[in-house]
Chains A and B, each alone.
Chain A
Amino acid sequence: MKTAVCVKRVPDSEARIKIAADGRSIDEAGVKFVLNPYDEFAIEEALRLKEAAGAGEVVVVSVGGDASQETIRTALAMGADRGVLIKTDRLPLDPLPVARALADELKTGGYDLVLFGKIAADDCSHATGAMVAELLAVPSVTAVSKLSVAEGKLSAEREIEGGVEVVECALPAVVTAEKGLNEPRYPALKGIMAAKKKPLEVKPVTLSDPGIEVAQLAYPPERKAGRIVGEGADAVPALVEALRLEAKVL
């Protein structure tokens, strides 16, 4: 079983976002960057599948700048075997050029399964995994919360509004991971040390032109200042009245 896991370096979800002077990007100074949280589920799943099979390879692939090497090393520390950085200094907001670069890398790799996190915590496009699958013309299931792989086939569950879809396909396939798919392991010290010696190949790439241009990055509008209706249970009638008569939501 040969699995690729595509990962991204993103700001920590607890980080405050500061907009840069150009008004089109974020100020990265002082921002802690991490492995995209959803990608952790993808890596964990790949490692479990390899462990269950008793053989195989887990390759971590990322599109990004040099700093993404650190992100790949985090995945290697969890237990992946080797990494590939598809190096570009400018990640566009349009997911298609990134999906094309990943598909180009993956198509000759002989992978049985390609895993992604379902969404990146920075651009929130939830697009790249499904796009790569379409470009590779292989079946795919997105936002998967339960996965089983056996005899060249997979069965997956994905949550929808008010239900769960059960989806099946043959390998090779692309799967994107939803939170809850598994409980990702923390890299152990031994893993961190080993990761330093694992192969990490850097391949410079020129991405295709994006079809979307950034005009501006801004903070969301401030909410109008609210008010404290009161303290304790005695404030409840006033709250209900405000919700009925002022806000008109009851």
Chain B
Amino acid sequence: MANVLAYLEQRDGSIKRVAQEALTAGRVLADGLGGELHAIVVGPPGLSVEVAGAYGADKVFVGADEAARLYQSGLYAAAVADRARAGGYAAVLLGATAMGKDLGPRIAARLGCPIAADVTAIAVEGGIVITRPVYGGKALYRLKVTAPCCVISLRPNNFTAVATRRSGAVEPITLPADAGAFARTVRVKEPERAALDVTEAAIVVAGGRGLKEPQHFKLLEDLAAALGGQAAVGASRAVVDAGWRPHAEQVGQTGKTVSPNLYVAVGVSGAIQHLAGMRTSKVIVAINKDKDAPIFKVADYGVVGDLFEIVPRLTNEIKKARGN
């Protein structure tokens, strides 16, 4: 019997959706191992941790402190590692977000245990068995955890959160007084342009060199706007390298990996490193003038032709369909 710990990510005092995914995967592991699921959250005072019990946690440890209002790598890592050590958990789960990618390895190093990053599937078959993409998504490893504990970061948007009511009893914890020397986050700046992150968007509209000029991305911004507040604009490596779009929007092996419900690739030929970053999208639409473009091989729906005619029409039809 072994227990599992799920780390609940919060920003600005609100627990992120990825926490529900960590709880869901944690419940699966805990049930498989015949143990309990515990949760831990670190952040500012006044956190609401309702979600923990709603998504299957038997207990939730809450480290609320003004010093933890912003993400502080050392303080957060020390708090989670201390709890993990005290609880002797078989696994510590968290989302592979900007915070989780930073925090996960720190917890693992402090515990002296392995980390499996950006995991897409998890099961108990004798021990913990993990699936994770490597080579930017061109291959998948199936791994067996042989260590007594493992830190597992989960690819966001990949695990469907399932509500399972458990007691979620709250247990306050005191954050470590001495977390050692760590870099301090002094503030969080607003991005230069306020846009939904491609990794968090339910819909991604991505453009490539087929758009010909940077200002033509306006077509994609209009399409994203027509799709409502859940759509973000993404970009291929070619247009990011050319300086047309910021790196934060790049989808692919040297950019971000996305799994939205809908991915619309516009004027993107589908280089192997781009496909690696978006092939796990639920539905893929490709719009390209070259009917032999590799993007059509992964697309569920393709339209061959001039994007400068197709995209404005698509924006209009979607506006009509959505009744606005």
Q: Interface of A with B (CB < 8 Å)?
A: 11, 13-14, 16-17, 19, 26, 37-38, 93-96, 99, 121-131, 133-135, 137-143, 145, 156-170, 173, 178-180, 210-220, 223-224, 226-233, 235-237, 239-240, 242-244, 247, 249-250
Closest Cβ–Cβ distance, residue A136 to chain B (whole Å): 10
Closest Cβ–Cβ distance, residue B118 to chain A (whole Å): 6
Q: Which of B55-63, B178-186, B207-215 contacts A (4 or more CB under 8 A)?
A: B178-186
Contact A213-B146, Cβ < 8 Å, known A38-B254, A160-B98, A250-B321: yes
Q: Is the CB of B183 within 8 A of A179?
A: no
In the assembled complex, the Cα of A121 lies from the Cα of B283 at a distance in Å of: 26
Contact A130-B109, Cβ < 8 Å, known A163-B189, A216-B141: yes
Pick the contact of B136 from A121, A125, A178, A240 — CB < 8 Å? A121
Q: Is the CB of A128 within 8 A of B144?
A: no
Q: Is the CB of B197 within 8 A of A179?
A: no
Contact A228-B189, Cβ < 8 Å, known A170-B181, A240-B314: no
Q: Is the CB of A220 within 8 A of B301?
A: no
Q: Which of B30-38, B166-174, B303-311 contacts A (4 or more CB under 8 A)?
A: B303-311
Q: Is the CB of A163 within 8 A of B190?
A: yes
Closest Cβ–Cβ distance, residue B131 to chain A (whole Å): 9
Q: Is the CB of A243 within 8 A of B283?
A: yes
| 13 further interface pairs, Cβ-Cβ under 8 Å (given A94-B114, A229-B302) | A13-B253, A14-B271, A95-B114, A139-B181, A142-B102, A162-B194, A164-B189, A166-B185, A173-B183, A211-B147, A217-B140, A232-B310, A235-B310
Pick the contact of B117 from A124, A227, A232, A249 — CB < 8 Å? A124
Closest Cβ–Cβ distance, residue A175 to chain B (whole Å): 9
CB contacts under 8 Å to A, within B152-205, are: 180-191, 194-197, 199-200, 203
Contact A143-B98, Cβ < 8 Å, known A160-B188, A211-B145, A231-B304: yes
Residues on A with C-beta less than 8 A from B279 are 220, 223
In the assembled complex, the Cα of A211 lies from the Cα of B145 at a distance in Å of: 6
Q: Is the CB of B301 within 8 A of A212?
A: no
In the assembled complex, the Cα of A124 lies from the Cα of B197 at a distance in Å of: 20
In the assembled complex, the Cα of A227 lies from the Cα of B133 at a distance in Å of: 26
Q: Is the CB of B301 within 8 A of A226?
A: yes
Q: Is the CB of A249 within 8 A of B261?
A: yes
Q: Is the CB of A140 within 8 A of B73?
A: yes
21 pairs from A and B in contact (CB 8 Å cutoff): A17-B135, A121-B136, A121-B254, A128-B105, A130-B106, A131-B106, A143-B102, A160-B98, A162-B194, A163-B189, A168-B183, A173-B183, A210-B146, A212-B145, A214-B143, A220-B137, A226-B301, A229-B303, A230-B303, A240-B314, A247-B262
- Map CB proximity to A onto B107-130 as digits: 1 under 8 Å, 0 otherwise: 011101111111000000000011
Closest to B308 in A: A233
Q: Is the CB of B105 within 8 A of A131?
A: yes
Tell whether B69 is near chain A: CB-to-CB under 8 Å: no
- Map CB proximity to A onto B206-248 as digits: 1 under 8 Å, 0 otherwise: 0000000000000000000001000000000000000000111
Residues on B with C-beta less than 8 A from A178 are 247
Contact A212-B147, Cβ < 8 Å, known A169-B182, A226-B300, A226-B301: yes
Closest Cβ–Cβ distance, residue B282 to chain A (whole Å): 7
We find that the number of chain B residues with CB closer than 8 angstroms to chain A is 100
Contact A167-B185, Cβ < 8 Å, known A180-B247, A229-B302, A250-B321: yes
In the assembled complex, the Cα of A247 lies from the Cα of B310 at a distance in Å of: 20
Residue with the highest number of chain A CB atoms closer than 10 Å, among B106, B203, B279, B282: B106
Q: Interface of B with A (CB < 8 Å)?
A: 11, 70-71, 73-74, 77, 97-99, 101-102, 104-106, 108-110, 112-118, 129-130, 132-147, 150, 180-191, 194-197, 199-200, 203, 227, 246-248, 250, 253-255, 261-262, 271-273, 279-280, 282-285, 291, 296, 298-306, 309-310, 313-314, 317-318, 321-322
Q: Is the CB of B189 within 8 A of A166?
A: yes
Q: Is the CB of A179 within 8 A of B255?
A: yes
Q: Is the CB of A17 within 8 A of B138?
A: yes
Pick the contact of A163 from B135, B188, B283 — CB < 8 Å? B188
Residues on B with C-beta less than 8 A from A135 are 109
Q: Is the CB of A131 within 8 A of B109?
A: yes
Pick the contact of B101 from A126, A180, A218, A243 — CB < 8 Å? A126
Q: Is the CB of B191 within 8 A of A236?
A: no
Closest Cβ–Cβ distance, residue B285 to chain A (whole Å): 7
Pick the contact of B113 from A37, A96, A180, A232 — CB < 8 Å? A96
Closest to B286 in A: A226
Q: Is the CB of A250 within 8 A of B322?
A: yes
**4 tightest A-B contacts by CB?**
A211-B147, A211-B114, A169-B183, A134-B109
Contact A215-B70, Cβ < 8 Å, known A13-B254, A131-B108: no
Pick the contact of A166 from B97, B188, B197, B291 — CB < 8 Å? B188
Closest to A162 in B: B197
Pick the contact of A13 from B73, B262, B273 — CB < 8 Å? B273
Q: Is the CB of B108 within 8 A of A96?
A: yes
Closest to B187 in A: A166
Q: Is the CB of A11 within 8 A of B183?
A: no
Q: Is the CB of B303 within 8 A of A26?
A: no
Residues on B with C-beta less than 8 A from A130 are 73, 102, 105-106, 109
